A = this chain, B = another copy of it.
Amino acid sequence: MANRSDTKTRILDAAEKLFAERGFSETSLRLITSKAEVNLASVNYHFGSKKELIRAVLARYLDVFMPAAANAIVAVRQENADASLDAIFSTLVAPLLDLNQLRAEGTTTFLQLLGRGYIESQGHLRWFITTHYGEYLGLFVNAVAESAPHIPPAEMFWRLHFTLGTVVFTMASADALTEIAEADFGEHNDIEAVIRKVIPYLSAGVSVPLTKDVI
C-alpha cells in the first residue's frame, strides 16, 4: 500500500480535522473512521478510548509548538531584556505559522483545537495541557509579566485569562468570521492576518493601567 499512510496516522489526520471543525463531543468515532477509511474498532485498538485519541491529536501539535515557542521567547529576551508586550506576543507568530509546514492548514487546525480544548472539555484537557506543558506556559507567563511590571500578579492572572478567551474564541470562530468579513467588507484574511490583528488588541488590554491608577 504505497500511497496510504498507516492506520494510526490516518485516524489522527481525520480526527484533528473533524475535531477542529465541529468540536470534540460533536464528532463521533464512526465519523472519524469513515473519513479515515479505516475500521471503527481500530480507534480503540490504537488509542484505547476517545479521550486518549483527543489527547494524542493535541499532543502531536503541542510537542512541536511548545518547544519552538519557548525557544523563540528565550531568544527575543536575550536580544532585548526589555522586550515590549507586543514583541512577546509577536514572537509566537513564527512558531504558529511553522505549523503549516507540519501539515496543511496546521496553524488554523492547532488554534481551533486549542480553542475547543479549553472551551469544551470538563477539565481533562486543561489538566492535560497544564501538567504536560506547564514549564512552557510558566515561561510565557513570566515573559508577559515582566513586560508589564506595573500589573500586579492577581490582576495579570485575570488578564491572561481574558487573553486566552479572546484567542480561543476567535480561533474557534475564525472560519465564520473571515467569511463574514469577506462578505461585508470585501476583506480577504488568512490566519496570519487574523493573528496580526488580534495582537495589538491583546497587548493593549493586558497592559492598560489599573482604573484606580488613572486620575
**What CA separation (Å) do A187 and B185 show in the bound complex?**
44
Q: Is A154 an interface residue (CB 8 A)?
A: yes
Q: Is A204 an interface residue (CB 8 A)?
A: yes
- What are some 6 contacts across the A-B interface (CB < 8 A)? A161-B173, A166-B166, A166-B169, A168-B169, A196-B211, A200-B210
Say yes or no: A155 contacts B197, CB within 8 Å: yes
| Contact partner, A157, options B161, B166, B180, B196, Cβ 8 Å | B180
Q: Which residues of B contact A177 (CB under 8 A)?
A: 158, 161
Q: Is A159 an interface residue (CB 8 A)?
A: yes
Q: Which residues of B contact A173 (CB under 8 A)?
A: 161, 165
Q: Is A6 an interface residue (CB 8 A)?
A: no
Which DSSP category, helix, strand, loop or mixed, fits chain A's interface?
A: helix
Min Cβ gap A180→B in Å is 7
**What CA separation (Å) do A118 and B153 show in the bound complex?**
30
Say yes or no: A169 contacts B165, CB within 8 Å: yes
| Copies of chain A in the complex | 2
Q: Among residues 159 to 190 in chain A, which have CB atoms less than 8 Å away from a CB atom of chain B? A: 159, 161-170, 172-173, 177, 180-181, 184-185, 187
Binary CB contact string for chain A from 120 to 137 against chain B (1 if under 8 A, 0 otherwise): 101000000000000000
| Contact partner, A25, options B25, B155, B161, Cβ 8 Å | B25
11 new A-B contacts, CB < 8 A, other than A118-B169, A119-B169, are: A154-B181, A155-B197, A158-B177, A161-B173, A163-B166, A169-B169, A200-B205, A200-B210, A201-B205, A204-B204, A204-B208
